[in-house]
Amino acid sequence: MKVRIKDIAKAVGVSPATVSLVLNNRPGISEETREKILKKIEELGYNSGRTTSKAVRGLTKNIRFIVYKKHGKVVGETPFFSALIEGIEQEARDEGFNLLISYINEQSGDRQEIIQIIKETPVDGILLLATEMYSHDLLIFNNLTLPIVVLDSYLEDKNMDFVVIANAEAIYSATVYLIQKGHREIGYLDSSVWIKNFEERKEGYEKAILQSGLVFKKEFILSLEPTLDGAYKDMKEILGNGTELPTAFVAANDIIAFGAMKALKEAGIKIPDDISIIGLDDMPFCEICDPPITTLRVYKERMGKIAVKRLIERIMNNVEERVKIEVRTELIERKSVKDNMLY
């Protein structure tokens, strides 16, 4: 005869809801009651089809969040990553898990040391911020027999889940938006530092240009360092060379857009009258700069929460299937795009 939750509840003298809390490893009940329920689950041979009492007992309730820095030019103390981490911390806390944060800085050569610390500290799963990682950087994590969810870069590893921005779709839609505004010469402000996200965004830009029947001009793809100061200096140098410019740019992110816009304005180029610009991220400065930047809003906290939910699902339910979850963006219209259809 199949044992049901209400059978366990009746045997222990608690409500079915209390039994469910234990089975899902949720907080809100005393350790004494939890132990009684776990003992009765074992006695009666209950199987939920999800997690077992052994799994619940063996949990450390710790999640390791690893921030991987290859060069630190993209991953840093920016509003993007602050919001992402806030979402991760909140969801972990709500689910009753502790978050242990580790930083791997490739340039300081501490990668193997951090991996050893990770192996020696009991955790139930790993969240990996992979924005600056290459595919081969994942190899050192394949020996860890833990559920791993990778954030902010799709590096196609069959052993891991991925939660990423819908990069190509985002920049494709931004480029189409500029075309609909009457722009026929549209460029892409790329990063001079290789980042998988930026490559996917460039693919979205190229697809939109080609599908629309516009002439694709490689010279309209400009490479700028992905920092405020770096993008500004690189754009200033490009302008000094007399490079032909389009009527609009889609930028790989808001930081590149802002740095480029500063250089353009200094050169006497009016935004958006002479050149329009769209960014991606929707960082706080987009609202207050002059002009306010039209951008694609990334739901950063949501990404963090989704990643934690997926990791806990794998921890609790022994899920075999691996997934790629894409979080879509939203176009936020401000004042950095000129509508050429009105002229």
Each residue's pLDDT tens digit, 24-78: 666 667 777 877 888 787 777 765 544 444 455 578 899 999 999 998 889 876 7
Order of strands across the sheet that contains 324-327: 98-105, 62-69, 125-129, 148-151, 161-165, 324-327
**Residues across the chain:** 343
Q: Look at residue 2 in the predicted model and tell me its pLDDT.
A: 65
User: Which is nearest to 303 in space by CA: 108, 176, 165?
Assistant: 165
CATH architecture of 62-165+300-327: 3-Layer(aba) Sandwich (3.40)
**What integer pLDDT is reported at residue 48 of this predicted model?**
54
Look up the CATH number of domain 167-298. Answer: 3.40.50.2300
pLDDT digits (tens, 9 = 90+) for 261-278: 999 999 999 999 999 999
Same topology for domains 62-165+300-327 and 167-298, yes or no?
yes
3-state SS, residue 193: coil
Burial 83-92 (b: 16+ CB within 10 A, else e): bbbebbbebb
Q: Is the peptide bond before 79 cis (omega within 30 degrees of 0)?
A: no
Block means of pLDDT (10 residues each) for the chain, 343 residues, are 76 81 70 80 65 58 92 82 91 92 81 74 92 90 88 87 97 98 97 96 98 94 96 97 95 98 97 98 96 97 96 86 94 97 77
Half-sphere exposure of 105 (CA within 13 A, CB side): 5
As to burial, measured by CB atoms within 10 angstroms (0-12 exposed, 13-18 middle, 19+ buried), residue 79 is middle
Contact 186, 214 (CB under 8 A): yes
pTM of the model: 0.81
Would you give the DSSP letter of residue 215? P
* Domain locations in the chain as residue ranges: 1-58, 62-165+300-327, 167-298
- CATH 1.10.260.40 is held by the domain 1-58: yes
**How many alpha carbons lie under 13 Å from residue 162 in its C-beta half-sphere?**
18
| Pair 162, 325: CB distance under 8 Å | yes
Rounded to the nearest 5 degrees, what angle is found at the Cα of 62, between the Cα atoms of 103 and 306? Answer: 80
- Reading the block at residue 45, the tokens are 């041979």
